[in-house]
Structure 1
Amino acid sequence: MDNEEDLESLGEKLYTLIYPKHADMASKLTGMLLELPGAVIGQMLQDEELLTKALERALAALHSDNTSKPQSHADDVDSMSSDSLGEQLYELINLYNTGYTQKITGMLLEQEKKVVLQLLSDPVLLEEKVNMALKTLQDSSCRPSQEEACASDGSDQDEVEVIGEKLFALVRDIEPAHCADITGMLLEMDLGTLRQILSDRNMLEVAVLRAKSARENAQSQPQPDTN
Protein backbone atom coordinates (compact mmCIF):
# COMPACT_ATOMS: atom_id res chain seq x y z
CA MET A 1 0.00 0.00 0.00
CA ASP A 2 2.87 2.35 0.86
CA ASN A 3 4.45 1.69 -2.54
CA GLU A 4 1.18 2.49 -4.27
CA GLU A 5 0.87 5.73 -2.30
CA ASP A 6 4.47 6.67 -3.10
CA LEU A 7 3.89 6.00 -6.79
CA GLU A 8 0.73 8.10 -6.73
CA SER A 9 2.59 10.95 -5.03
CA LEU A 10 5.45 10.79 -7.58
CA GLY A 11 2.89 10.73 -10.39
CA GLU A 12 1.18 13.86 -9.10
CA LYS A 13 4.50 15.71 -8.84
CA LEU A 14 5.58 14.60 -12.32
CA TYR A 15 2.23 15.58 -13.82
CA THR A 16 2.48 19.05 -12.26
CA LEU A 17 5.90 19.58 -13.89
CA ILE A 18 4.95 18.09 -17.27
CA TYR A 19 1.52 19.70 -17.77
CA PRO A 20 2.67 23.32 -18.45
CA LYS A 21 4.80 22.22 -21.43
CA HIS A 22 2.86 19.20 -22.68
CA ALA A 23 -0.76 19.77 -21.62
CA ASP A 24 -2.27 17.51 -24.29
CA MET A 25 0.04 14.58 -23.49
CA ALA A 26 0.76 15.12 -19.80
CA SER A 27 -1.10 12.01 -18.62
CA LYS A 28 0.54 9.74 -21.20
CA LEU A 29 4.05 11.09 -20.56
CA THR A 30 3.58 10.85 -16.79
CA GLY A 31 2.56 7.21 -17.12
CA MET A 32 5.62 6.43 -19.24
CA LEU A 33 8.03 8.06 -16.78
CA LEU A 34 6.41 6.27 -13.85
CA GLU A 35 7.71 3.01 -15.33
CA LEU A 36 11.22 4.11 -14.29
CA PRO A 37 12.59 3.14 -10.84
CA GLY A 38 11.46 5.36 -7.97
CA ALA A 39 15.01 6.55 -7.27
CA VAL A 40 15.39 7.74 -10.86
CA ILE A 41 12.03 9.52 -10.75
CA GLY A 42 13.09 11.23 -7.52
CA GLN A 43 16.24 12.49 -9.25
CA MET A 44 14.24 13.83 -12.18
CA LEU A 45 11.95 15.77 -9.84
CA GLN A 46 15.01 17.56 -8.45
CA ASP A 47 16.93 17.95 -11.73
CA GLU A 48 15.08 19.76 -14.52
CA GLU A 49 17.67 18.78 -17.12
CA LEU A 50 17.27 15.07 -16.37
CA LEU A 51 13.49 15.42 -16.58
CA THR A 52 13.75 17.25 -19.91
CA LYS A 53 15.93 14.50 -21.37
CA ALA A 54 13.57 11.79 -20.13
CA LEU A 55 10.61 13.63 -21.69
CA GLU A 56 12.46 13.97 -24.99
CA ARG A 57 13.01 10.20 -25.06
CA ALA A 58 9.36 9.53 -24.16
CA LEU A 59 8.15 11.90 -26.90
CA ALA A 60 10.52 10.30 -29.41
CA ALA A 61 9.17 6.87 -28.47
CA LEU A 62 5.58 8.07 -28.93
CA HIS A 63 6.42 9.69 -32.25
CA SER A 64 8.15 6.51 -33.43
CA ASP A 65 5.15 4.39 -32.44
CA ASN A 66 2.78 6.70 -34.32
CA THR A 67 4.75 7.12 -37.53
CA SER A 68 6.68 3.90 -38.09
CA LYS A 69 5.13 1.13 -40.12
CA PRO A 70 4.53 -2.22 -38.41
CA GLN A 71 7.51 -4.48 -38.63
CA SER A 72 8.65 -7.75 -37.17
CA HIS A 73 10.93 -7.86 -34.16
CA ALA A 74 13.71 -9.24 -36.36
CA ASP A 75 13.35 -6.29 -38.76
CA ASP A 76 13.45 -3.89 -35.81
CA VAL A 77 16.67 -5.43 -34.52
CA ASP A 78 18.33 -5.31 -37.91
CA SER A 79 17.31 -1.71 -38.59
CA MET A 80 18.89 -0.23 -35.47
CA SER A 81 22.60 0.52 -35.56
CA SER A 82 24.89 -0.24 -32.65
CA ASP A 83 25.60 3.48 -32.30
CA SER A 84 21.90 4.27 -31.95
CA LEU A 85 21.39 1.53 -29.37
CA GLY A 86 24.46 2.66 -27.48
CA GLU A 87 23.27 6.27 -27.32
CA GLN A 88 19.82 5.29 -26.04
CA LEU A 89 21.28 2.87 -23.52
CA TYR A 90 23.82 5.42 -22.31
CA GLU A 91 21.09 8.02 -21.67
CA LEU A 92 19.02 5.56 -19.60
CA ILE A 93 21.98 4.23 -17.60
CA ASN A 94 23.16 7.78 -16.94
CA LEU A 95 19.95 8.39 -14.96
CA TYR A 96 21.14 5.92 -12.33
CA ASN A 97 24.14 8.15 -11.56
CA THR A 98 26.45 5.18 -10.89
CA GLY A 99 29.68 6.92 -11.85
CA TYR A 100 30.33 4.06 -14.31
CA THR A 101 27.88 4.99 -17.09
CA GLN A 102 30.34 4.52 -19.95
CA LYS A 103 31.69 1.20 -18.65
CA ILE A 104 28.25 -0.26 -17.88
CA THR A 105 26.96 0.80 -21.30
CA GLY A 106 29.89 -0.96 -22.95
CA MET A 107 29.29 -4.10 -20.89
CA LEU A 108 25.58 -4.26 -21.76
CA LEU A 109 26.21 -3.55 -25.46
CA GLU A 110 28.26 -6.76 -25.65
CA GLN A 111 24.97 -8.67 -25.57
CA GLU A 112 22.88 -9.50 -28.66
CA LYS A 113 20.90 -6.62 -30.18
CA LYS A 114 17.56 -8.17 -29.30
CA VAL A 115 18.62 -8.35 -25.64
CA VAL A 116 19.70 -4.69 -25.72
CA LEU A 117 16.34 -3.74 -27.24
CA GLN A 118 14.62 -5.56 -24.41
CA LEU A 119 16.65 -3.55 -21.89
CA LEU A 120 15.55 -0.31 -23.55
CA SER A 121 11.88 -1.26 -23.21
CA ASP A 122 11.96 -2.95 -19.80
CA PRO A 123 13.02 -0.61 -16.93
CA VAL A 124 12.92 -3.41 -14.34
CA LEU A 125 15.26 -5.65 -16.37
CA LEU A 126 17.54 -2.69 -17.12
CA GLU A 127 17.83 -1.82 -13.42
CA GLU A 128 18.69 -5.44 -12.63
CA LYS A 129 21.42 -5.54 -15.31
CA VAL A 130 22.81 -2.15 -14.26
CA ASN A 131 23.07 -3.31 -10.64
CA MET A 132 24.80 -6.54 -11.68
CA ALA A 133 27.29 -4.68 -13.87
CA LEU A 134 27.91 -2.10 -11.13
CA LYS A 135 28.62 -4.85 -8.58
CA THR A 136 31.06 -6.48 -11.00
CA LEU A 137 32.89 -3.19 -11.55
CA GLN A 138 33.00 -2.36 -7.84
CA ASP A 139 34.25 -5.84 -6.93
CA SER A 140 37.01 -5.69 -9.52
CA SER A 141 38.07 -2.21 -8.44
CA CYS A 142 38.21 -3.28 -4.79
CA ARG A 143 40.51 -6.23 -5.51
CA PRO A 144 43.38 -5.03 -7.69
CA SER A 145 46.42 -7.30 -7.89
CA GLN A 146 49.42 -6.32 -5.78
CA GLU A 147 51.36 -5.42 -8.89
CA GLU A 148 48.59 -3.22 -10.25
CA ALA A 149 48.15 -1.51 -6.89
CA CYS A 150 51.85 -0.68 -6.62
CA ALA A 151 52.04 0.57 -10.19
CA SER A 152 48.87 2.61 -10.19
CA ASP A 153 48.64 4.22 -6.74
CA GLY A 154 51.17 6.95 -7.43
CA SER A 155 50.22 7.63 -11.05
CA ASP A 156 46.49 7.68 -10.26
CA GLN A 157 46.99 10.20 -7.48
CA ASP A 158 49.07 12.41 -9.76
CA GLU A 159 46.38 12.24 -12.43
CA VAL A 160 43.65 13.12 -9.92
CA GLU A 161 45.60 16.24 -8.92
CA VAL A 162 46.00 17.30 -12.57
CA ILE A 163 42.33 16.62 -13.28
CA GLY A 164 41.38 18.53 -10.13
CA GLU A 165 43.15 21.65 -11.36
CA LYS A 166 41.50 21.48 -14.79
CA LEU A 167 38.12 20.64 -13.28
CA PHE A 168 38.25 23.57 -10.86
CA ALA A 169 38.78 26.02 -13.73
CA LEU A 170 35.84 24.57 -15.68
CA VAL A 171 33.51 24.42 -12.67
CA ARG A 172 34.38 28.01 -11.77
CA ASP A 173 33.02 29.12 -15.16
CA ILE A 174 29.74 27.25 -14.59
CA GLU A 175 29.17 27.77 -10.84
CA PRO A 176 31.66 30.33 -9.48
CA ALA A 177 29.95 30.75 -6.10
CA HIS A 178 30.64 27.21 -4.88
CA CYS A 179 33.29 25.98 -7.31
CA ALA A 180 35.63 24.61 -4.63
CA ASP A 181 32.95 22.53 -2.88
CA ILE A 182 31.52 21.22 -6.16
CA THR A 183 34.97 20.34 -7.53
CA GLY A 184 35.66 18.37 -4.37
CA MET A 185 32.39 16.48 -4.77
CA LEU A 186 33.13 15.67 -8.42
CA LEU A 187 36.61 14.40 -7.56
CA GLU A 188 34.98 11.57 -5.61
CA MET A 189 34.04 10.01 -8.99
CA ASP A 190 36.22 7.31 -10.53
CA LEU A 191 39.04 8.33 -12.88
CA GLY A 192 37.25 7.10 -16.00
CA THR A 193 34.23 9.29 -15.32
CA LEU A 194 36.45 12.28 -14.49
CA ARG A 195 38.26 11.95 -17.81
CA GLN A 196 34.89 11.73 -19.53
CA ILE A 197 33.39 14.88 -18.02
CA LEU A 198 36.57 16.82 -18.81
CA SER A 199 36.11 16.01 -22.49
CA ASP A 200 32.32 16.38 -22.63
CA ARG A 201 30.91 19.81 -21.71
CA ASN A 202 27.32 18.56 -21.51
CA MET A 203 28.25 15.77 -19.09
CA LEU A 204 30.23 18.25 -17.01
CA GLU A 205 27.29 20.67 -16.76
CA VAL A 206 24.94 17.86 -15.70
CA ALA A 207 27.45 16.65 -13.08
CA VAL A 208 27.83 20.19 -11.72
CA LEU A 209 24.04 20.60 -11.49
CA ARG A 210 23.74 17.33 -9.60
CA ALA A 211 26.54 18.22 -7.21
CA LYS A 212 25.03 21.67 -6.62
CA SER A 213 21.61 20.11 -5.94
CA ALA A 214 23.12 17.56 -3.54
CA ARG A 215 25.01 20.32 -1.74
CA GLU A 216 21.87 22.45 -1.36
CA ASN A 217 19.86 19.46 -0.13
CA ALA A 218 22.51 18.67 2.46
CA GLN A 219 22.56 22.26 3.68
CA SER A 220 18.77 22.37 3.91
CA GLN A 221 18.68 19.42 6.30
CA PRO A 222 18.14 20.41 9.96
CA GLN A 223 21.39 20.53 11.87
CA PRO A 224 21.71 18.43 15.08
CA ASP A 225 21.34 20.40 18.29
CA THR A 226 24.75 20.47 20.00
CA ASN A 227 23.52 22.32 23.09
Structure 2
Amino acid sequence: MSVDEDLETLGEQLYSLIYPKHQESAGKLTGMMLELPAAVLKQMLQDEAMLAAAVGKALRALQLAHKPSEVTFKDEDDASVSSDSLGEQLFELVDVYNTGQSQKITGMLLEQHKDTVLHLISDPKMLEESVTLALKTLREQNMEETDVSDSSEADDMDRLGEKVFSLVEKLDPLHANDITGEPAL
Protein backbone atom coordinates (compact mmCIF):
# COMPACT_ATOMS: atom_id res chain seq x y z
CA MET A 1 0.00 0.00 0.00
CA SER A 2 1.41 3.40 -0.98
CA VAL A 3 1.71 6.31 1.41
CA ASP A 4 -1.12 8.17 -0.37
CA GLU A 5 -3.41 5.12 -0.19
CA ASP A 6 -2.55 4.63 3.49
CA LEU A 7 -3.30 8.30 4.20
CA GLU A 8 -6.58 8.07 2.30
CA THR A 9 -7.60 5.00 4.29
CA LEU A 10 -6.69 6.72 7.55
CA GLY A 11 -8.68 9.77 6.46
CA GLU A 12 -11.75 7.67 5.72
CA GLN A 13 -11.51 5.92 9.08
CA LEU A 14 -11.05 9.21 10.95
CA TYR A 15 -13.93 10.84 9.08
CA SER A 16 -16.26 7.96 9.97
CA LEU A 17 -15.40 8.41 13.66
CA ILE A 18 -15.59 12.22 13.65
CA TYR A 19 -18.73 12.68 11.51
CA PRO A 20 -21.34 11.40 14.02
CA LYS A 21 -20.46 14.11 16.57
CA HIS A 22 -19.28 16.93 14.27
CA GLN A 23 -21.21 16.64 11.01
CA GLU A 24 -20.73 20.24 9.86
CA SER A 25 -16.98 20.32 10.41
CA ALA A 26 -16.04 16.65 9.97
CA GLY A 27 -14.26 17.27 6.66
CA LYS A 28 -12.18 20.15 8.00
CA LEU A 29 -11.37 18.32 11.25
CA THR A 30 -10.33 15.22 9.33
CA GLY A 31 -8.11 17.33 7.09
CA MET A 32 -6.48 18.91 10.13
CA MET A 33 -5.87 15.49 11.66
CA LEU A 34 -4.29 14.22 8.45
CA GLU A 35 -1.49 16.77 8.97
CA LEU A 36 -0.30 14.64 11.90
CA PRO A 37 2.15 11.75 11.43
CA ALA A 38 0.57 8.46 10.28
CA ALA A 39 1.76 6.67 13.43
CA VAL A 40 -0.12 9.18 15.60
CA LEU A 41 -3.23 8.80 13.44
CA LYS A 42 -3.14 5.02 13.75
CA GLN A 43 -2.81 5.35 17.50
CA MET A 44 -5.79 7.74 17.58
CA LEU A 45 -7.90 5.19 15.72
CA GLN A 46 -7.17 2.71 18.51
CA ASP A 47 -7.46 5.16 21.43
CA GLU A 48 -10.83 6.90 21.66
CA ALA A 49 -9.67 9.32 24.38
CA MET A 50 -6.65 10.39 22.33
CA LEU A 51 -8.88 10.99 19.29
CA ALA A 52 -11.38 12.97 21.36
CA ALA A 53 -8.59 15.14 22.77
CA ALA A 54 -7.16 15.81 19.31
CA VAL A 55 -10.60 16.63 17.89
CA GLY A 56 -11.19 19.00 20.83
CA LYS A 57 -7.92 20.80 20.12
CA ALA A 58 -8.71 21.01 16.42
CA LEU A 59 -12.17 22.42 17.19
CA ARG A 60 -10.64 25.10 19.42
CA ALA A 61 -8.17 25.95 16.66
CA LEU A 62 -11.04 26.29 14.18
CA GLN A 63 -12.98 28.49 16.57
CA LEU A 64 -9.96 30.74 17.09
CA ALA A 65 -9.35 30.91 13.35
CA HIS A 66 -12.97 31.92 12.67
CA LYS A 67 -13.02 34.58 15.38
CA PRO A 68 -9.74 36.50 15.01
CA SER A 69 -11.25 39.67 16.50
CA GLU A 70 -12.03 37.80 19.73
CA VAL A 71 -8.55 36.32 19.74
CA THR A 72 -6.74 39.58 19.29
CA PHE A 73 -8.70 42.05 21.44
CA LYS A 74 -10.61 41.58 24.67
CA ASP A 75 -12.65 44.71 23.99
CA GLU A 76 -12.47 47.68 21.67
CA ASP A 77 -10.52 49.87 24.12
CA ASP A 78 -7.85 47.28 24.93
CA ALA A 79 -5.53 47.17 21.92
CA SER A 80 -2.89 45.22 23.77
CA VAL A 81 -3.15 41.51 24.43
CA SER A 82 -1.36 40.10 27.45
CA SER A 83 1.58 37.84 26.76
CA ASP A 84 0.05 35.17 28.98
CA SER A 85 -3.16 35.20 26.96
CA LEU A 86 -1.26 35.00 23.69
CA GLY A 87 0.90 32.20 25.04
CA GLU A 88 -2.12 30.20 26.15
CA GLN A 89 -3.88 30.65 22.82
CA LEU A 90 -0.77 29.84 20.84
CA PHE A 91 0.00 26.79 22.98
CA GLU A 92 -3.50 25.40 22.34
CA LEU A 93 -2.98 25.77 18.60
CA VAL A 94 0.57 24.38 18.60
CA ASP A 95 -0.42 21.45 20.80
CA VAL A 96 -2.84 20.26 18.09
CA TYR A 97 0.19 19.07 16.11
CA ASN A 98 1.17 16.55 18.84
CA THR A 99 4.88 17.15 18.32
CA GLY A 100 5.85 16.45 21.90
CA GLN A 101 7.57 19.84 21.84
CA SER A 102 4.55 22.12 22.24
CA GLN A 103 5.99 24.17 25.09
CA LYS A 104 9.34 24.74 23.41
CA ILE A 105 7.76 25.58 20.05
CA THR A 106 5.29 27.96 21.69
CA GLY A 107 8.17 29.67 23.47
CA MET A 108 10.09 30.00 20.21
CA LEU A 109 7.09 31.48 18.42
CA LEU A 110 6.37 33.91 21.27
CA GLU A 111 9.85 35.42 20.79
CA GLN A 112 8.56 37.02 17.60
CA HIS A 113 6.92 40.46 17.43
CA LYS A 114 3.41 40.52 18.93
CA ASP A 115 1.79 41.34 15.55
CA THR A 116 3.43 38.27 14.04
CA VAL A 117 2.17 36.10 16.90
CA LEU A 118 -1.36 37.48 16.45
CA HIS A 119 -1.13 36.68 12.75
CA LEU A 120 0.01 33.11 13.57
CA ILE A 121 -3.01 32.64 15.80
CA SER A 122 -5.41 33.74 13.08
CA ASP A 123 -3.67 32.05 10.09
CA PRO A 124 -3.61 28.24 10.38
CA LYS A 125 -1.40 27.82 7.30
CA MET A 126 1.24 30.24 8.58
CA LEU A 127 1.09 28.59 12.01
CA GLU A 128 1.62 25.16 10.48
CA GLU A 129 4.66 26.39 8.55
CA SER A 130 6.08 28.01 11.69
CA VAL A 131 5.54 24.88 13.79
CA THR A 132 7.22 22.74 11.14
CA LEU A 133 10.20 25.10 10.97
CA ALA A 134 10.50 25.28 14.77
CA LEU A 135 10.33 21.49 15.06
CA LYS A 136 13.03 21.14 12.41
CA THR A 137 15.20 23.64 14.29
CA LEU A 138 14.72 21.78 17.58
CA ARG A 139 15.66 18.48 15.95
CA GLU A 140 18.80 20.02 14.42
CA GLN A 141 19.79 21.53 17.78
CA ASN A 142 19.24 18.19 19.48
CA MET A 143 21.46 16.47 16.91
CA GLU A 144 24.19 19.09 17.39
CA GLU A 145 23.99 18.78 21.18
CA THR A 146 24.29 15.01 20.88
CA ASP A 147 27.32 15.35 18.61
CA VAL A 148 28.99 17.89 20.88
CA SER A 149 28.32 16.02 24.10
CA ASP A 150 29.48 12.71 22.64
CA SER A 151 32.81 14.14 21.51
CA SER A 152 33.41 16.14 24.68
CA GLU A 153 32.53 13.12 26.82
CA ALA A 154 35.06 11.03 24.88
CA ASP A 155 37.66 13.79 25.30
CA ASP A 156 36.92 13.97 29.02
CA MET A 157 37.33 10.20 29.32
CA ASP A 158 40.67 10.33 27.48
CA ARG A 159 41.98 13.10 29.72
CA LEU A 160 40.79 11.29 32.83
CA GLY A 161 42.39 8.04 31.64
CA GLU A 162 45.69 9.81 30.97
CA LYS A 163 45.64 11.42 34.42
CA VAL A 164 44.87 8.13 36.18
CA PHE A 165 47.61 6.41 34.17
CA SER A 166 50.20 9.04 35.13
CA LEU A 167 49.29 8.70 38.82
CA VAL A 168 49.36 4.88 38.75
CA GLU A 169 52.60 4.97 36.78
CA LYS A 170 54.26 6.87 39.64
CA LEU A 171 53.16 4.14 42.08
CA ASP A 172 53.80 1.07 39.91
CA PRO A 173 55.59 1.95 36.64
CA LEU A 174 55.96 -1.70 35.62
CA HIS A 175 52.23 -2.55 35.74
CA ALA A 176 50.58 0.86 35.12
CA ASN A 177 49.21 -0.04 31.68
CA ASP A 178 47.80 -3.36 32.95
CA ILE A 179 46.14 -1.67 35.92
CA THR A 180 44.56 1.20 33.98
CA GLY A 181 44.11 -0.38 30.58
CA GLU A 182 45.96 2.59 29.12
CA PRO A 183 48.89 2.24 26.74
CA ALA A 184 52.19 3.49 28.07
CA LEU A 185 52.85 7.18 27.28
TM-score norm. by structure 1 comes to 0.46
Whose Rg is larger? 2
Alignment of 1:38 with 2:41, yes or no, is no
| Count of aligned residue pairs for this structure pair | 141
In structure 2, runs of 5+ residues without a counterpart are 157-185
- Asked if structure 2 preserves the Cα contact closer than 8 Å seen for 1:29 and 1:55, the reply is yes
Query: CA-to-partner distance for each residue in 1:165-222, whole Å, 9 max, x for gaps?
Result: xxxxxxxxxxxxxxxxxxxxxxxxxxxxxxxxxxxxxxxxxxxxxxxxxxxxxxxxxx
Q: Give the Å deviation of 1:65.
A: 5.3
Alignment of 1:113 with 2:118, yes or no, is no
- One-letter identity of the residue aligned with 2:27: S
Alignment partner, residue 82 of structure 1: 83
- Asked if structure 2 preserves the Cα contact closer than 8 Å seen for 1:86 and 1:109, the reply is yes
- One-letter identity of the residue aligned with 1:38: P
CA distance, structure 2, for counterparts of residue 42 and residue 30 of structure 1: 13
CA distance, structure 1, for counterparts of residue 30 and residue 21 of structure 2: 12
Identify if the C-alpha distance between structure 1 residues 81 and 6 changes in structure 2 by more than 3 Å, giving closer, same or farther: farther
In structure 1, runs of 5+ residues without a counterpart are 151-227
CA distance, structure 1, for counterparts of residue 65 and residue 106 of structure 2: 25
Q: Give the Å deviation of 1:95.
A: 0.5
- Asked if structure 2 preserves the Cα contact closer than 8 Å seen for 1:15 and 1:27, the reply is yes
CA distance, structure 1, for counterparts of residue 46 and residue 114 of structure 2: 33
Q: Give the Å deviation of 1:80.
A: 4.6
TM-score norm. by structure 2 comes to 0.54
Alignment partner, residue 104 of structure 2: 103
Alignment partner, residue 181 of structure 1: none
Greater RCO, CA 8 A, separation 6+: 1
Q: Give the Å deviation of 1:14.
A: 0.9
Q: Give the Å deviation of 1:75.
A: 6.8
- One-letter identity of the residue aligned with 1:83: D
Alignment partner, residue 134 of structure 1: 139
Structure richer in helix, relative to its length: 1
- Asked if structure 2 preserves the Cα contact closer than 8 Å seen for 1:19 and 1:26, the reply is yes
CA distance, structure 1, for counterparts of residue 49 and residue 81 of structure 2: 26
Task: Spell out the pairing of 1:102-181 with structure 2 (5 A cutoff).
Answer: 102-117=103-118, 119=120, 121-122=124-125, 123-144=128-149
Alignment partner, residue 21 of structure 1: 21
Alignment partner, residue 176 of structure 2: none
Identify if the C-alpha distance between structure 1 residues 129 and 103 changes in structure 2 by more than 3 Å, giving closer, same or farther: closer
Matched residue SS, 1:23: coil
